[in-house]
Amino acid sequence: MDTLLKNLRYFIGKIRPQIFLALCLLGIIAILGIRADLNEITVGCIAGIIALAKDVLQVDSGNGEGEGKE
């Protein structure tokens, strides 16, 4: 049980609320764009979601921090 709490604290410490909020807002705008038949808005939001998800995966794997630094 103690190990579970340590892992949970570690996971919660890695959550960035601003990224989560941005993903949610882009998803909502994309859905509204689909419903209003605004394909350009929808594609832009989906591209933003993909870019943010890629950034999150890079940072979590340790490849995103310190790029270009020696």
pLDDT of residue 60: 64
For residue 57, the model assigns a pLDDT of: 75
Confidence of residue 9 (pLDDT cuts 50, 70, 90): confident
Residue 4's pLDDT is: 76
For residue range 17-65, list pLDDT tens digits in order.
888 888 899 999 999 999 999 999 999 999 999 998 888 777 766 655 5
What total number of domains does the chain contain?
1
Residue 32 located in a structural domain: yes
Q: Does some domain include residue 7?
A: no
What local confidence, expressed as pLDDT, does residue 68 receive? 47
Residue 53, in any domain of the structure? yes
Range(s) of the domain holding residue 44: 18-58
Token output for 24: 């949610």
Measured between alpha carbons, how far is 22 from 30 in angstroms, rounded to an integer? 12
Q: What is the pTM of this model?
A: 0.63
Cβ atoms of 46 and 38 within 8 Å: the answer is no
Is residue 43 assigned to a domain?
yes
In a domain, 2, yes or no: no
CA separation for the pair 18, 62 (Å, rounded)? 19
DSSP class per residue in 16-65: -HHHHHHHHHHHHHHHHHHHTT-HHHHHHHHHHHHHHHHHHHHHHHTSST
| 27 within domain boundaries | yes
